[in-house]
Amino acid sequence: MAMKRQEGGEQPFIPAGPFKIRLPFVHYKFEWPDYVQGLLLCTVCLSAIPLLTENLGMAMETALAVVVLNGILYCTHVLLGDPVVPGWVTPAIPLLVLYVSDFSLDNHERIQALMAFEMTLGVLAIVLGITGLGKKMVALIPPAMKCGLIMGAGIAAVSQIFTKGARFDTYPWTISICIGLAFFLLFSNRFKYIAQRSKIASTISNLGLMPVLLLAVVIGPLLDRATISWPTFEAKIFSTPDFADLWQNFTVLGDVPFPPLSMFIKGLPMVFSAYVVLFGEMVQADALLKDAHKVRPDETIDYNPNRSHLVFGIRNLTMSIIGPDITMCGPLWAAMQVVVCDRYKRGRKEMDSIHGGTGSFRFGTLTGYFLAPIVALVTPILGVGLALTYLIQGYVAVRVGISNARTFTDLGIAGVMGAVLATRGAAWGLAVGILLCLLIQLFNRKEYDDYLADVFSGARREDVPAAEAAAVAESAPAAVEAASDGGGGNPAPGDQK
């Protein structure tokens, strides 16, 4: 049985310098709903396979080996004390694909360029984590730029799906139906209201994206049969990732020479661009965890950007040596962090600790990579799973990004910065954000600012039917009291926001 924490305290751990080691079943309760969800949602991680086969010339089994190695390193975040669901550096993937495509596949040039980039990114993150500059950088960024970084990442994610000839044009019916259901299940207040009163709806809510992906497996071959086939199962239990081919032909452990200095230098602009995106994801992770803590004061959540730098820096550096990966090693899978945090907000009975939810989910995805029936089940909808993740990330990024803005000026700067970031890349977006902040906010006179809180503090909710209001008051008294006061008191630990 896992160790129990005191009310309002931090989950037990083994101190190890900047890290806080937590083992499943020992330091946190294993959350089976999140584990089962991870089994199916390995479909999104497996979506990296087409990126690797198309851009690096890997065989399917070799690309699967890269995904498995990345999956093992995903688990290091919760193991070392970082309470997040880690993922790719999603908005930077198109930029990296464009960068490595400038190098030839012959003579290992392209894989060397990817190694040099990922190695440099890892070293940069580790240095920032050790020196403590990572945490200071997060604190020093103006709210307008925080908002612009996060919003821009969201816009970029959505545009990757709806660009002409992209995934929406390939699976139009399946994506339309599944993303509509996903938004309703994850973000609709009406469904939250229903889930509080129905065990069936509550169970569906706890499964996150799983019902949506199962629906895609069924309707995809029916509605988009030209591009989605029915799953084909083979008579085997375990998948067969080809680690031998990976290490012999795609890493410095085999036939690939160590990248020359010129490649490290040429990759610096791409490293800087990717770090800008990573920075925005850490801001987003911090915001999501703070929001969860407001609803669950029974657990102290320690999210340290310096520690996060160290963990994803080690992951990137390790993967550059044992399995270079175009998706990169990022600090946050925003869509799934939202799903886990949403279940966490329902109280300690639903999820004892945030570490249990995030850790169990990543153990689930790791298990799924090795199970041939699961891989076969989701293989036809790999593109759909990736599209759903991008679109949910876009929704969350815009919502969280706006919450970082304090004034209407912040929103204006963020909108322009985000649009430039989404269309011209992270480096251009950062440059525009810095320039606008200097031009508009340097020597700013705060008495002329229009604060969002002042404008919306007088806004009141529309009246709801008396019976519905009474039901809400009975199930969530603290939330109703806060709304009627026009204030922002924290809901009780088990209440919905």
pLDDT digits (tens, 9 = 90+) for 174-216: 999 999 999 999 889 999 899 889 989 987 876 777 789 889 9
Who contacts 48 (Cβ-Cβ below 8 Å, separation ≥6)?
63, 66, 67, 70, 88, 325, 326, 327
B/e letters for 330-358, b = 16+ CB within 10 Å, e = fewer, are bbbbbbbbbbbbbbbbbbeebbbbbbbbb
429-435 long-range contacts, CB within 8 A, separation 24+: 429/148, 429/149, 429/152, 429/276, 430/145, 430/149, 430/276, 433/144, 433/145, 433/148, 433/149, 434/145
Residue 56: is its pLDDT beyond 50?
yes
Mean pLDDT of 256-276: 89
CB atoms within 10 A of CB 218: 12
What's the pTM value of the predicted model, to 2 decimals? Answer: 0.76
pLDDT digits (tens, 9 = 90+) for 423-433: 887 778 888 99
Residue 489: is its pLDDT beyond 90?
no
Query: What is the residue extent of each domain of the chain?
Result: 14-405, 468-497
pLDDT digits (tens, 9 = 90+) for 278-329: 887 888 899 899 999 999 999 999 999 899 999 999 999 999 999 999 999 9
Residue 401: is its pLDDT beyond 70?
yes
Confidence (pLDDT) at 493:
31
What does the alpha-carbon distance between residue 490 and residue 481 come to, in Å, rounded to a whole number? 10
**Residue 405, both tokens:** 């803005």
DSSP result, 393-439? HHHHHHHHHHHT--BHHHHHHHHHHHHHHHHH-HHHHHHHHHHHIII
Helix axis angle for 48-56 and 382-403, nearest 10°, is 110
- Residue closest to 330 by CA, chosen among 308, 304, 312: 312
**Residue 209, both tokens:** 């994206």
Residue 375: is its pLDDT beyond 80?
yes
Residue 107: is its pLDDT beyond 90?
no
What does the alpha-carbon distance between residue 275 and residue 92 come to, in Å, rounded to a whole number? 9
Residue 256: is its pLDDT beyond 50?
yes
